Chain A
């Protein structure tokens, strides 16, 4: 009985639990393909943005309605029109998005950039080549589990 009840509660919880949403800000098509594929396979909803301008637009959009609010942002530092840190700065200045958890996902190993990311409250500074896609999924799951 007990077990059954527990299971019912769990399914209920699962149903009410919307899919966790991840906002991927990245401009390289192959990398987008890799991360979208593995993250979706792991049950996440993934929204991808490829430019700085789109990111700003998105920040404005989600700040108007909390429905679109992502649970985690994966942010690349090289965007065609902007530095990823600028996007992060804009995000931190907006009241709705200022506390969004952000992982910087980059191929830079620079103390300066790491410090800048830290100052802007990025939770992690991850080197892309350090992770296989499934390892990255694990890091994301770890962060988003309750």
Chain B
């Protein structure tokens, strides 16, 4: 049974070494302290285990088998304690822990009575295997419950944690499985179940893996321990050789060898340390990188989701605008179509009596169509968040087009409509050509509409930073207060709104204002008062810097 004796000895020596080593790494750290306590329990179990296996008398075997139980009783609870400290769960599970320690103390009191270890007798090849007393089964239950609880906490934490902590927990779990499954192979024989305690050899993996998990991230490694052990063993051998050398020459030779070995050995340990330190740094960096990668991927996923959501909303917005256009304009098309056909005689000559109401009908339909067009324009522009399709635009050309288009109407009313522009071309500006044309056409059209005598003069010029436009008419003019709510504040309630209605100006100017402001420009109106004409001023910056709206989805 020497094999089992040796496993016990290895467990004892290994745990002493690992426990002390981890404790010496950081004496103040609670984790290291509790781990040392756990190692102590293992030592108190495994050293008597060795002595029990080596016993040649039943009475000593019984004594040592009871002694080893002292350690065994405390292993599960110190393990649980260690897990709580490691996972920072002490506060929440303190009661369970204290209860476990109280249980352990109870078992400890019972340990040296037959209630716990009844006797020793032959089992398989073991001459003195202990037999379980009445209280042994409850101890096994505690052993099972606390180890499973500890592992369960580790598993739960493993799911939530990231990076180094996750890896540490993995090691702790592996350690617990090796250690406890291995150690548990000792129990069947207590109840005459013929299973060899073969797993005892695995127990040493428990302190080793746990220690590895604790100190790994502090740039230490089990490889250092092995190297140190190896160097130590060889040094001791050389020292023994030095003392036992029969001749002086051999003594000197072995001394020199010893000194050389110590130098080389310490260099070896240092280089191993450096290499491990380097690798460890690399590993930590890798883990950090992996983490960062995961975060970035998550961020991308969220962004993609947001983008899709935005696209869906954009699509819904477009559909809404289109549906509105269709539903508002279709009946108007029909009204306009029939009234014009009736007036043109498609259904027979029109009675002079009905002609007048039909004319009014037609006129109102046209007004309504115009209003709907303006409303749709303005809502389309607003719902499109005022997004512009910016291109190089020659502003005086846009104005020329507008003047040409409105000229017939001005001529019909006997008004002049002139465009005054510089001899040389103006600087091109970045603008949404079709919208800009709409904005300016509204202003010029407004001038033509509200002027009965005289006419409208449009003027364009530039200075260092702006393109300036003025549209001066000799029309109805307006009171000073009216100039303030002409653009956009049309929809206000109360007196101002009423006043706006009396002038009957269209909502086109509100749209002009929005478009011009979207181009970072401004529009305002000046008038000397009623019947004294008005002058609209428009100012548009030549540079649309910081305006990357054209890149957005339309």
Mostly helix, strand, loop or mixed at chain B's interface?
helix
Smallest beta-carbon distance A91→chain B, Å = 22
B329→A129 contact, CB < 8 A: yes
* A38 contacts chain B at the CB level, 8 A cutoff: yes
* B165 contacts chain A at the CB level, 8 A cutoff: no
- Report if A134-B344 is in contact (Cβ < 8 Å); known contacts: A34-B337, A78-B326, A108-B322: yes
B322→A133 contact, CB < 8 A: no
B341→A34 contact, CB < 8 A: yes
Bound Cα distance from A24 to B59, whole angstroms? 114
Chain B residues near A108: list those with CB within 8 A. 322, 325-326
* B369 contacts chain A at the CB level, 8 A cutoff: yes
Chain A residues near B373: list those with CB within 8 A. 109, 129
B326→A109 contact, CB < 8 A: no
Smallest beta-carbon distance B465→chain A, Å = 30
A111→B337 contact, CB < 8 A: no
Chain A residues near B341: list those with CB within 8 A. 34, 37-38, 133-134
Smallest beta-carbon distance A5→chain B, Å = 36
For A, the interface residue count at a CB cutoff of 8 angstroms equals 21
In the complex, the chain B residue whose C-beta lies closest to that of A135 is B340
B554→A109 contact, CB < 8 A: no
Chain A residues near B334: list those with CB within 8 A. 28, 30-31, 34
* B251 contacts chain A at the CB level, 8 A cutoff: no
In the complex, the chain B residue whose C-beta lies closest to that of A127 is B329
Bound Cα distance from A134 to B338, whole angstroms? 11
In the complex, the chain B residue whose C-beta lies closest to that of A133 is B337
Contact with B340, one of A31, A110, A113, A133 (Cβ below 8 angstroms): A133
* B330 contacts chain A at the CB level, 8 A cutoff: yes
* B244 contacts chain A at the CB level, 8 A cutoff: no
Chain A residues near B346: list those with CB within 8 A. 37-38, 41, 133
- Report if A129-B322 is in contact (Cβ < 8 Å); known contacts: A34-B341, A38-B341: no
Smallest beta-carbon distance A32→chain B, Å = 11
B330→A31 contact, CB < 8 A: yes
- Report if A110-B321 is in contact (Cβ < 8 Å); known contacts: A129-B369, A133-B337: yes
* A90 contacts chain B at the CB level, 8 A cutoff: no
* B318 contacts chain A at the CB level, 8 A cutoff: yes
Binary interface encoding of chain B residues 302-340 relative to chain A, with 1 for a CB under 8 A from any of its CBs, else 0:
000000000000000010011001101110111011101
B330→A107 contact, CB < 8 A: yes
* A128 contacts chain B at the CB level, 8 A cutoff: yes
Smallest beta-carbon distance B208→chain A, Å = 69
Chain B residues near A34: list those with CB within 8 A. 334, 337-338, 341
Chain B residues near A109: list those with CB within 8 A. 325, 373, 376-377, 380
Bound Cα distance from A112 to B332, whole angstroms? 23
Please give the residue numbers on chain A whose beta carbons come within 8 Å of chain B beta carbons, in ascending order. Answer: 28, 30-31, 34, 37-38, 41, 78, 107-113, 127-129, 132-134
Please give the residue numbers on chain B whose beta carbons come within 8 Å of chain A beta carbons, in ascending order. Answer: 318, 321-322, 325-326, 328-330, 332-334, 336-338, 340-341, 344, 346, 369, 372-373, 376-377, 380, 389, 434, 554
The 23 sampled A-B contact pairs (Cβ below 8 Å) are A28-B330, A30-B334, A30-B337, A30-B338, A34-B338, A34-B341, A37-B346, A38-B346, A41-B346, A107-B325, A107-B328, A107-B329, A108-B322, A109-B373, A109-B377, A110-B322, A127-B329, A128-B333, A129-B372, A133-B337, A133-B340, A133-B341, A133-B346
For the complex of A and B, 9 pairs with smallest distance between CB atoms: A107-B329, A132-B340, A34-B337, A128-B333, A30-B334, A129-B369, A129-B329, A133-B337, A107-B326
A-B contact sample (19 more), CB < 8 A, given A110-B322, A129-B333, A133-B340: A28-B334, A30-B334, A30-B337, A37-B341, A38-B346, A41-B346, A107-B329, A109-B377, A110-B318, A111-B554, A112-B554, A128-B329, A128-B333, A129-B329, A129-B332, A129-B373, A132-B336, A134-B341, A134-B344
